[in-house]
Amino acid sequence: AQKVTQAQTEISVVEKEDVTLDCVYETRDTTYYLFWYKQPPSGELVFLIRRNSFDEQNEISGRYSWNFQKSTSSFNFTITASQVVDSAVYFCALRPASGGSYIPTFGRGTSLIVHP
Amino acid sequence: DTGVSQDPRHKITKRGQNVTFRCDPISEHNRLYWYRQTLGQGPEFLTYFQNEAQLEKSRLLSDRFSAERPKGSFSTLEIQRTEQGDSAMYLCASSWSGAPNEQYFGPGTRLTVT
């Protein structure tokens, strides 16, 4: 069974603050993929990143960075110098890399509110 | 291509009525997925198709739910005898079988059962 926990239900910050969204996962699979999605008020989930369980390198993309730590089963997401447009619900997701199922398990999401 | 589209965007229906939603995937994508998302939760998988074949169904997909993708292009999701518990956002996503991780989501259909 797979489980993704996003313990932070809602985070409120002021523009230009850095913010970290936590994601902890549980899986019995030895290989798997981790994802982050953004869901703005319009409702459409937007893919942000995919990480293979073999690759523990952290990644940076502009103001976004991701910290994958297999030892603690965490895949945290940091937004540097947050902006109002970052306000959205962010979902972490997990799916096995083998076994033929391509279905991700999503966390409950963290609502990020960035105030001007 | 304009991405995944869903119709309608909002649907209000009375309990007991049947409803049907449509999803048009990105044209070159052969996989199509349906998810349900309730308030404060992440999307939950319902079913997925590769071309016209329905390959996987969640236990969440009760007998009142049926999905089709007759020509391997657009898909419909029908809910019969709707219940208030069916109120949710129904999301559709598509991908190419060569890149199954890259699921592109539509804007969703919000269903309210009164």
3-class SS of residue B68: strand
Contacts of A84 (CB under 8 A, 6+ apart): A15, A114, A115, A116
Rounded to the nearest angstrom, the minimum Cα separation between A91 and chain B is 7
Contacts of A28 (CB under 8 A, 6+ apart): A1
Among the listed residues B88, B5, B73, the one whose alpha carbon sits nearest the alpha carbon of residue B40: B88
Contact (CB<8Å) A103/B48: yes
Is a pLDDT exceeding 90 seen at residue B96?
A: no
Q: What average pLDDT does this structure show over B85-110? A: 89
What does the pLDDT look like over B53-92, one tens digit per residue?
A: 999 888 888 899 999 999 889 999 999 999 999 999 999 9
Contact (CB<8Å) B102/A47: yes
Contact (CB<8Å) B42/A42: no
Specify the length of chain A in residues: 116
Looking up tokens 């129904």, which residue turns up? B90
Per-residue pLDDT of chain A (116 residues; tens, 9 = 90+): 789 999 999 999 999 999 999 999 999 988 999 999 999 988 889 999 989 898 888 888 899 999 999 999 999 999 999 999 999 999 999 998 876 667 889 999 999 999 99
